[in-house]
Amino acid sequence: MRRSGIQIVLFAGVLLSAASAGADRLLVPMDLQQRNHLKAYGLAFWILERDIDVDWLLNYRGGSFAVQAHDLIAQEARIRGVSFEIVSEPDIARIWAQIDAANMDVVRLEKAPKIAVYTPPNAQPWDDAVTMALEYAGIDYEKLWDEDVLDGRLDDYDWLHLHHEDFTGQYGKFYSSFRNEMWYREQQRLYEAQAKRLGFSKVADQKKAVARVIYEYVASGGFLFAMCSATDTFDIALAAGGVDITPAVFDGDPIDSGAQSRLDFSRTLAFENFTIETNPLVYEHSDIDTTPKDQRLIRSAEAEYFTLFEFSARHDPVPTMLTQCHTSVVNGFLGQTTGFHRSLIKDHIVVLAEVEGTDQVKYIHGQVGMGTVTFYGGHDPEDHKHHVGDPPTQLDLHRSSPGYRLILNNVLFPAAKKQERKT
């Protein structure tokens, strides 16, 4: 439960008083000594919500956190099951010296970002890995949908996650396998009714309008994070603009003649020169995705691992924050969009993780205007294949999941910079 503003102020006052009495630090290790990595992010967020700064020790023991020691913080850590150490002033000085001498750095986290998740009203709680991560870590967020975006509500938030949405208006391209299922028909009915209510003749037109608003949100300083099909379909929608790329089975009329040649890649965030998939029976949106077409080529999560790049903590602090982990090797996981072909990624985009020996890129980041975008391939880091109707992932069984840590790195890194409220 969120504390009142008065309680938070009192908490901060008590902590500041304690700070003058001693210089001990509470260190939250993020290496293998941490028994619950995911909830450690929630603890850091909880401290920031109380207007207390947190130091993020980049590349030190897996990206550890440090804060002025206080009994109330230690108590909260114990409640959450988060490992911590009390470090004396001489010892913290030695840690700082070690950081200065190596590829490490200290980033001061100053403000808890306001979090929004773009998700449909009929989504199940376990449909989206980011939602599950936020819930498990204990990080507050709010839900938005198309009408909220078009009404300008994005201006109230610092960070936005895109649910595994299909921004092309093709309902996830589940037509071939699930068009007769009740959930598919209900989704189509819901989407079409909303489009009509909002004044759009087609769902695809509504989704393109939403994508354009989100693009402007990013360009004006917002932080955008997307996974799975929201990554490539978002850029496809932006590139399509006023071009109809939606087959008749979805919107009642054919694709525009020469649709592929009319795509405008200057409008996209991360991808260019891709070819869209116009066959409604093919479970794919474009050639951006690296999911194996031949199911026989799919191996195990351990065999399909990807590797995180190591960055200079001082010169590239943002990529460094986004790749903080207790291991550089992460088990692979599939999605409708599993990964991205390197040749289709724009030059200004930074590659954060790749599948070694292939052209598959798993994790990317870039600057767009005054904001940033991060795309992460795959659906659920702890559900390798993930089929429709699979039971929810129990994150308490994956407390140290490297794949989920990458998600929570993204949630936390906007705190490193004070953001003025956008108007």
Q: What is the pLDDT of residues 179-236, one digit of tens each?
A: 999 988 998 999 999 999 999 999 999 999 999 999 999 999 999 999 999 999 999 9
Express each pLDDT in 320-331 by its tens digit: 999 999 999 999
Three-state SS at 161:
strand
- The H-or-E segment that residue 308 falls in is strand 306-308
| Residue 403 within a domain | yes
Express each pLDDT in 32-90 by its tens digit: 999 999 999 999 999 999 999 999 999 999 999 999 999 999 999 999 999 999 999 99
Write down which residue in 109, 138, 172 finishes a domain.
109
Q: Do 101 and 119 reside in the same domain of the chain?
A: no
pTM of the model as a whole:
0.92
Strand locations in 205-325, DSSP E?
A: 223-227, 306-308
Q: What are 123's two structure tokens?
A: 């989504």
Q: Do 185 and 96 reside in the same domain of the chain?
A: no
| Residue 422 within a domain | no
CA distance 158 to 298: 37
Q: Do 292 and 412 reside in the same domain of the chain?
A: yes
Using pLDDT thresholds of 50, 70 and 90, give the confidence band for residue 268.
Answer: very high
For position 7, what pLDDT does the model report?
Answer: 45
For position 127, what pLDDT does the model report?
Answer: 81
Q: Do 149 and 270 reside in the same domain of the chain?
A: yes
Q: List the domain range (segments joined by +) for residue 33.
A: 5-109
CATH of the domain at 68: 3.30.70.790
Q: Do 64 and 144 reside in the same domain of the chain?
A: no
Contact 41, 411 (CB under 8 A): yes
Three-state SS at 224:
strand
Q: Do 24 and 89 reside in the same domain of the chain?
A: yes
- Which region among 99-113, 264-278, 295-309, 341-355 has the lowest average model confidence (pLDDT)? 295-309
| Residue 58 within a domain | yes
Q: Do 86 and 217 reside in the same domain of the chain?
A: no
| Residue 421 within a domain | no
Q: Find the farthest-apart pair of alpha carbons in the chain and give their distance in angstroms, rounded.
A: 73
Q: Do 409 and 288 reside in the same domain of the chain?
A: yes
Using pLDDT thresholds of 50, 70 and 90, give the confidence band for residue 386.
Answer: confident
For position 15, what pLDDT does the model report?
Answer: 52
Q: What are 167's two structure tokens?
A: 């921004």
Write down which residue in 75, 109, 143 finishes a domain.
109
Q: Domain tally for the chain?
A: 2
Q: Do 137 and 177 reside in the same domain of the chain?
A: yes
Contact 291, 355 (CB under 8 A): no
Express each pLDDT in 370-382 by its tens digit: 999 999 999 999 9
Q: Do 238 and 133 reside in the same domain of the chain?
A: yes
Which residue type occupies 96?
Answer: W
Which alpha helices (H) appear in 198-316, and where do they start and end? 203-219, 229-240, 248-251
CA distance 54 to 312: 21
